[in-house]
Amino acid sequence: VLTRCGDDLFSITTESPRDAQSLARQLRAFGDWLDVIPGIDSVVLQFDAAMLDGDDVRQKIESVLAAGIEPLEISQSLVEIPVVYGGEYGPDLSALCKATGMSADAVIALHTGREYTVDMVGFTPGFAFIGGLDERLHVPRRKEPRQRVEAGSVGIADGRSGLYAMASPGGWTLIGRTPYKLFDPHAEPPFVLGAGMRVRFKAISAGEFNG
């Protein structure tokens, strides 16, 4: 579904996060847009309304859609993300254990026990939404978001893991934290993770985190 959602915006709904990422790349390759923002099940495109007419932009988007959304390229390499689970690093782990009836070790085994794919990056610089969480770990977002979540925090919510690349407010259930610097504005490239990348979490000790 293609809708005009502002004087300089179009929104396209998609079947999946992967389709959203793939469509966003196709759109970017096909025109000079201000921003093309893939979401979980949509793409928002901002165009320069001073230069372009909405109807022409709509036609361009329609022609991309008519050609079909290509499958998203999944990277071959696997990024391993070390995580200290629980304690001060994952302040919600014990509450999660209570809610799910699982031990901390069982939760950690589930979370580290499979490979994931990055669904999208967004919200704050480098924040990664990582899909494919085991159903036993599906919890909603917290009712009261925290004012501050530390950089590197690993949260879960709505069937996804979320990696806080920088400190920010946040409403995800925090189970651990990685020492990896996921966003460094002075580095090239500044982002460690991007959509379509394969990741796996690895449990480490607090000593390894600080060492």
Residues that bind other proteins (CB under 8 A): 3-9, 11, 24, 33-44, 46, 49-51, 53-54, 120-127, 129, 141, 165-166, 168, 183, 185-186, 190-191, 194-195
Instruction: Decide whether 107 or 151 has the Cβ nearer to other proteins.
Output: 151
Residue (179 or 190) nearer to other proteins, CB: 190
DSSP state of 50: T
Q: For other proteins, which is the closer residue by CB, 113 or 169?
A: 169
Report the nearest approach of other proteins to the CB of residue 66 (Å): 22
CB of 179 closer than 8 Å to CB of 209: yes
- Least separation, in Å, of the C-beta of 10 and other proteins? 10
Kindly tell me which of 93 and 154 has the beta carbon lying closer to other proteins. Answer: 154
- Enter the tokens of residue 168: 């920010």
Q: How far is the CB of 138 from other proteins (least distance, A)?
A: 14
Residue with Cβ nearer other proteins (51 or 66): 51
Is residue 83 within 8 Å of residue 206, measured between CB atoms? Answer: no
Q: Is the dihedral of CA 170, 35, 129, 77 positive or negative?
A: negative
What secondary structure does DSSP assign to 144-197, as a single string?
A: S-EEEE-TTEEEEETTEEEE-SS-EEE-SEEEEE--S--B-TTSSSSBS--TT-
Output the smallest distance, CB 11 to other proteins, in A.
5
Q: Contact at 8 Å (CB) between 11 and 3?
A: yes
Q: How far is the CB of 208 from other proteins (least distance, A)?
A: 26
10's tokens: 């179009």
Q: Cβ(30)–Cβ(64) under 8 Å? A: yes
CB of 90 to other proteins, least distance (A): 22
- CA angle 152-158-163, nearest 5°? 10
Nearer to other proteins, 108 or 133 (CB): 133
